[in-house]
Structures are given as C-alpha cells and as structure tokens.
Amino acid sequence: MKGIMVQGTSSDVGKSLIATAICRAFANEGIAVAPFKSQNMSNNSYVTIDGKEIGRAQGIQAEAANTAASVWMNPILLKPRSEQQSEIVLLGKAIQTMSGKGYRKSFYEKGLDAISSALAKLDQEYEILVMEGAGSPVEINLKDRELVNMKVAEMADVPVILVADIDRGGVFASIVGTLELMEDHERARVKGLIINKFRGDLSLFTDGVKWLEEKTGIPVLGVLPYLENHMIDGEDSLSLPPASVNRGEKLLDIAVLKPPYISNYSDIEPFYYEQGVAIRWVSHVSEMGSPDAVILPGTKSTIRDLQYFKKAQLDGWLKSYSKEGGTIVGICGGYQMLGMKLIDPHGADTGIAFTSEEGLGLIPAVTTFLKEKTTVRAEGTVNPAAGRSLALSGYEIHLGETVLESSDHYFLFLRDGRAEGYFGNDGRIIGTYLHHLFHNDEWRNEWLNTLRKRKGIPTGKVVPVRSVKNAKYDELASHLMEHLDWPKLKQIIFQWGAEHEMA
C-alpha cells in the first residue's frame, strides 16, 4: 500500500487541513487518491451518497481528492452524547452507545476488523491513501488499545509525517517529547516533520529547523504560515469557526446558538462566504444583542442542550424575540427544540427512558425520539406557500420524529413523497431536518435578501459556494506546495511503498 499518515503532537495542530491539502495536490496531479481516518470522534458528520454517516473531515477530504466519499474512508465514527458516552457509528451505521471504558474493553477487535477491511477496500481502488491520525500518538494511558495512530500506520505499513503547531508555543518540546515517547520501531516510521501555523518572518525560524533536524535526525519538510480564512471545515468543536470578521457599513447580524453538543455546524459555513453578513456564536442571553436572525443548529443531545439553553436564560429571550417579529431557523435538533414537547420513551436521546422536556413552544409540534436513526440524502422543493418553489437538497441525520398539529405549514415537499419541516409567521420561523439548507445558494440568497429588505439595506447577489469552495481547495494545495518540500514528501511515499512491497 502506498500512502502517508499525518499525525500530530496534539489535537488541533492542523492535521485535517494538511491532509486535505495533500489530497487536492495529488488529485491535481492526476493521481487517484483517497483520505482515510480509522476512528474519528466528532459530531460534525457527513452523509455519503448511499446515506451512510462518516466524519465530516473525511467527507471534505474526499471532495478535495475529487472522489466520492465512502464509509471505507472513516470506518469508525464516535459521536459524543455526554462527557461519559459516545454513539458508535460503524461503517456508516449507528450500532450502540457506550462509555469510553466499555468501548476500549469490548470494541477493540471489532474495530481492528473494520479498519483492516476498509484498508483492503481502498487499496484496491486508489493509488495513494492520505491517512490522518487523532490527538497525539503517545497517549500512554490509551496506547495499548489505540485504533487510530501508530497501530493503524503499521497495519497499512505507511510512513508518518509528524505535525506540530508553533502558534500555541512549545513546538520544540512537543516534537522532541513526542518522539522520545515513541518506541524505536514507531519512531523509525516517522520520516518527516511539519511546523504549522507560523506567524511572521519565516527566515527567523531557520535556526529552529536546523536544530530540530540535528536533534531528531528527521527532515523538516516545511514550515507552513498561519493560514487565515481557509474556509475548510474542521472536524470537531476545537475547530469551530470564530465569530465572523466580515466587516462593513451595512451588516446583517446573525446569532447562532452554541450548545455543548453541537453537531453539523457546517450548516453555518456558507455565511462565511457572504459579504456583509456577520456570524456570532452565542451561549448566554447576555450575548444576544439585537440580531437580524437567530439560528438553532443541530445537536447530538437535544434535550440536554435544550436544558442548557434554558439555564442560560435563552428560552424566554427567544420567545420574546419571536413575538416581536424576529426571524428564527431551527435545523434538526434546533427544529426539535422549537416545538411544544420532546419525548424520549426509549432513552435514545438522553440515555434515560421515559424522559420528556417542554420545548420552546414556537412551533406547534411534538417530537418523539425513536430507536432507529434516519440518515439519508434528501431532495425536494419549498412549499409555494413559504416562498418560491425552489429546489433544495441536503441530508438528514436524526433520531426524532416531529409531528405537526396541522399540515398547513409544511416547509418542504420531498421527492420521496414526505412533507417535511415547518414555516410560520410569514416565514419568520422555519424548522427543518434538512442539513445543508443554507448550502442551497439561491434559497440562501432569497432568505438573506428578505432580512436585508426588512433592515432597509441593499439586496445581494447569489454566491456560488460550491465553486468558491472548490477554488479554496486549490488555494490550499498551492499554499502547501509553496512552503513544503513536495518532491521530498512524494519520495518518502513512493520509496517506502516500493521498498516494503519488495519486502
């Protein structure tokens, strides 16, 4: 197998971004390349074309690689539901919820089998795998049964590139310390170092590069400048985009509620491409201000996060805001929260059977959480009563079934025959299970222009996010190749592959 694994000295050093850039760089050279992460912990997921669920980062990397995402690219996805438990998604399908201790004890062999099958499948279909580790490869307390770093690099028999984040400080200690904690055979697999997120004059780090190479005996393949506004989705809440800095004289102010177990926050991504739109992430009533619209995003633990919002005094604020004519959109878990009541008879949402919680009462609907999760790509049209009958597409990932009191206010008519979601108050309240609602450029533009007209500011033109995002992949690859020894990286991959195939 030919490939490379990108590991990091810690979480959020830029592994996902670098892996994405490598995927696009190889794809631009006409090489059939695929991303791979054996085990991903994230509530920001991606639905494949066949309706299966994988980590969002691997879906994005597949886009960068110009290939279709599949479950083989991320065979194990862990979706945190509390501080103690995570839902296990195996080969795209949720199978059970377990504690971390239970997972380590009883899932290891099953996980190894899934990883082995995925590697074999991808090896048949692609020339190169760009693999990504997780966290640090030297978490000593977890290392004996790890399923994502050196164990997987050994299974695939690929070399490793170690990435360190200089922006957080301590880059020399983090690299040397990580290498010192590796076993000899693991360290022998590390063939290159990358320093990421450098700010300032790169020439000032020349002595640092020399010291690292002399100390470790491993070449520094590149020092990558800090990349502002790269616009590539992160995989977890550590990578949640900051408040928008899209400044101008006539801004739309959109507040997005930020629950502890936020999921699929990529639903908000398109607004970062819009001129004159500011996004604020809000966790408490004191931060709300006077927004032009409020979005309640998805969550992996709807009832717990609703209780969190109530404790933060956001429930009363939202009710008053709606009564005064405010615009609110709830997506998936946010849609469920807007209803009258949430019922969890099986403990599917909370882990505690027969739990129920009063909703925000802004949509006349009741949500019941079921045992089986819905994961499906979806297409449909907007109810003409809710605006122009525009075609929309996206995906659904949810446990709940939401039943409206009346059929007069459905938001969408889906191709599979279902009526879905809710609109009311002349479109000022929308609820839907359709993730990536705002990725539909024409509909998003109409929604934003409605807000602009209400505010008395000029309307805007449609922003083609998909094409803009595709250009961002190329920019990312160019950034990587400008500051990385690309020929050396390719030499590491192909030389290792040739030598180990012969062996």
- Residues serving a catalytic function are 332, 435
Alpha-carbon gap, residue 287 to 313, rounded angstroms: 11
Nearest to 297 by CA among 329, 269, 270: 329
Alpha-carbon gap, residue 291 to 294, rounded angstroms: 7
Alpha-carbon gap, residue 84 to 77, rounded angstroms: 16
Alpha-carbon gap, residue 68 to 61, rounded angstroms: 10
Alpha-carbon gap, residue 214 to 232, rounded angstroms: 34
In contact, 318 and 334? CB cutoff 8 Å: no
| Distant-in-sequence, close-in-space partners of 102: CB < 8 Å, separation ≥ 6 | none
| Distant-in-sequence, close-in-space partners of 500: CB < 8 Å, separation ≥ 6 | 157
In contact, 179 and 187? CB cutoff 8 Å: yes
| Distant-in-sequence, close-in-space partners of 218: CB < 8 Å, separation ≥ 6 | 162, 179, 190, 191, 192, 193, 212
| Distant-in-sequence, close-in-space partners of 210: CB < 8 Å, separation ≥ 6 | none
In 74-189, where do the E strands start and end?
76-80, 85-90, 93-99, 128-132, 160-165
Which residues are registered as beta bridge partners of 430?
329, 423
| Distant-in-sequence, close-in-space partners of 304: CB < 8 Å, separation ≥ 6 | 82, 260, 261, 350
Alpha-carbon gap, residue 6 to 22, rounded angstroms: 10
In contact, 32 and 11? CB cutoff 8 Å: no
Measure Cα distances from 332 to 256, 359, 492 in Å.
14, 14, 44
Helix or strand or coil: residue 259?
coil
Alpha-carbon gap, residue 42 to 202, rounded angstroms: 33
Alpha-carbon gap, residue 430 to 424, rounded angstroms: 7
